Amino acid sequence: MPAIVFKELPYEWRVGWRYTRAGRAGRRNGFISFISGVSMLGIALGVAALIIVLSVMNGFQKEVRDRMLSVIPHVEVMSADGGALPDWQAVAEQAMRHPEVRGAAPFVGAQALVARGETMRGALVRGIDPAREPEVTPLAAQLARDGTLAKLQPGGWKLLAGGELARQLGLRPGDPVTLVTPNGQMTPAGVVPRLKQMELAGRFEAGHYEYDSGLVLMHIDDAAKLFRTEGPTGIQLRLGDQQRAREVADELARTLGPQVIVRDWTRSNQNWFAAVQLEKRMMFIILTLIVAVAAFNLVSTLVMTVTDKRADIAILRTLGASPRSVMGIFVVQGATAGVIGTLGGLALGLLVAFNIDVIVPALERLFNASFLPGSIYLITRMPSDPQAGDIVPIALISLVLAFLATLYPSWRASRVQPAEALRYE
């Protein structure tokens, strides 16, 4: 701190800063006394741990969300009665008038069993229009670029399956596969499930296990015939801003009327997002306790300082310092340690969070280990997404806890009686 600025500060600030720098009995012991340094280090490590953990959780959430939204649309508009959507072209045109809607495509959605031999797996079957589907899902756009989507032709009875589903069934492109639909047909022997022999035209990898293991794509005309829907069961919409999906869905629900159900991607995966938010909230609370423990180490630091500086306090009191001024000195000392610790933790946490893609591979090479096996987590790098909405509350909570920790020792310092303190000096 420049000398001129330092001299212009109130004496409570100047004395508090000197006590922060001083060792026992006023002797200089480096820039920061050992006990103050330990308190600052504890706060810094707690703040850094909070920032790093929440940034990694945000990164995982963003990674999963992006992979999810590469497969599903931002908004779905479906018939209220669960059947075919009447005059879907008019509904799509009306939805496209919304300034946030960028693309629309019809679809047929149904559940079915995918079978090969005696092996069966449940799957979500989505009938799509290969010409319009790339407008609403990045996965379809990718499949269109490599020519896979063009293999779905009306009447061709071909399908595309998630890579994990194909592996579970032992399927390769060109292999026959059987779809078993839930809407059976009546025969003299009773209700018999409807079976359709189809051909696997290709596989896709969305990077999200739920869809790689349970999604099947086929042409919308074939799906409508197979499930007897007489047309698309809904339309899929792509938005310019995915974060406004719920707001746009509510506006479209009012515009399109009660004959349709409008559902956005946050409601479709509500349980998953609620679980992630709960986990993140619990981690925030648990790690905040680490910061609280470190902050309240300042109590013991300041109590030791007050005990060591009783003679100094008595001299200040005899020179006319008020109890409030004495209290202010030790509040400044504790608050300084809290501010330095918090700023150090912010710097360390952000440094690690922004460079975790470099740090984790270095640790993997050092320990010859893989922290994120691709076969288990489907991603091979540690994601990180520091957000101001997490970092600002962390800093504020750390500062508040550090300030609260200074109150009791500072109050004790203000209660020191000069005559009693100087009796044995």
Find how far residue 55's CA is from the centre of its chain: 8
When pLDDT is averaged across residues 45-71 and rounded to a whole number, the result is 88
Specify the pLDDT at position 229.
84
Specify the pLDDT at position 381.
75
Write 138-146 long-range contacts (CB < 8 A, 24+): 138/69, 138/70, 139/70, 139/71, 139/204, 139/206, 142/204, 143/202, 143/204
Specify the pLDDT at position 191.
60
Specify the pLDDT at position 31.
41
When pLDDT is averaged across residues 194-218 and rounded to a whole number, the result is 87
When pLDDT is averaged across residues 5-25 and rounded to a whole number, the result is 56
Instruction: Give the model's confidence band at 378: pLDDT under 50 very low, under 70 low, under 90 confident, else very high.
Output: low
**308-359: pLDDT as tens digits:** 677 777 777 777 777 777 777 777 878 888 888 999 999 999 999 999 888 8
When pLDDT is averaged across residues 21-26 and rounded to a whole number, the result is 50
Specify the pLDDT at position 30.
43
Query: SS3 letters for 81-117?
Result: CCCCCCCHHHHHHHHHCCCCEEEEEEEEEEEEEEEEC
Specify the pLDDT at position 236.
93
Task: Give the mean pLDDT of the chain.
Answer: 82
Specify the pLDDT at position 26.
44
Specify the pLDDT at position 424.
56
Instruction: Classify strands 119-128 and 215-219 as parallel, antiparallel or unpaired.
Output: parallel
Instruction: Give the model's confidence band at 186: pLDDT under 50 very low, under 70 low, under 90 confident, else very high.
Output: low
**268-284: pLDDT as tens digits:** 777 877 887 888 888 88
Contacts with 214 (C-beta within 8 Å, 6 or more apart), sequence order: 121, 122, 123, 124, 162, 165
**138-176: pLDDT as tens digits:** 999 999 898 889 899 998 899 999 888 999 898 898 899
Looking at the predicted structure, is the pLDDT value of residue 14 above 50?
Answer: yes
CA pair distance 39, 65, nearest whole angstrom: 39
Specify the pLDDT at position 290.
83
When pLDDT is averaged across residues 197-203 and rounded to a whole number, the result is 91
Looking at the predicted structure, is the pLDDT value of residue 71 above 60?
Answer: yes
**111-126: pLDDT as tens digits:** 898 988 888 898 999 9
Q: Which residues of 258-282 are buried (b: 16+ CB within 10 A; e: fewer)?
A: eebbbbbbbebbeeebeebeeebee
* Six token digits for residue 54: 């929440």
